[in-house]
Amino acid sequence: QILTASLRMVGQLLLVGYILHLVFALDRPLPVMGVLLVMAAAAVLTIGGRVKRKMPRFYRVVGSSLLTGCGLATLWFCYLVIGLEPWYEPRYLIPLAGMIFGNSMNGASLAAERLAEDVEVRRDEIETALLLGSSRFKAIRPILASALRVAMTPTVNSLAAMGIVFLPGMMTGQVLSGTDPMVAVKYQVAIMCVITFAVTVSASMILWQGYHGYFTQADQLKNPHA
The whole-angstrom separation of Cα 147 and Cα 41 is: 23
Sequence-ordered list of residues with C-beta below 8 angstroms from that of 77, at least 6 positions apart, any chain: 96, 100, 190, 191, 194
The whole-angstrom separation of Cα 147 and Cα 145 is: 5
| CA 144 to each of CA 38, 103, 192, 199: distance values in angstroms, whole numbers, following the listed order | 30, 21, 24, 15
Residue 166: phi, psi to the nearest 5?
-150, 155
Contact, 114 vs 145, CB < 8 A?
no
Residue 10: phi, psi to the nearest 5?
-60, -45
Closest CA to 63 of 93, 40, 29, 33: 40
* Mean pLDDT per 10-residue interval, the chain, length 226 residues: 91 88 82 88 91 91 94 87 80 87 92 94 92 91 95 90 74 80 85 92 95 88 70
pLDDT at 67: 92
In one letter, which amino acid is 149?
R
The whole-angstrom separation of Cα 111 and Cα 155 is: 13
Residue 61: phi, psi to the nearest 5?
-65, -50
Sequence-ordered list of residues with C-beta below 8 angstroms from that of 51, at least 6 positions apart, any chain: 58, 109, 112, 113, 116
Sign of CA dihedral 135, 138, 139, 145: positive
pLDDT at 117: 93
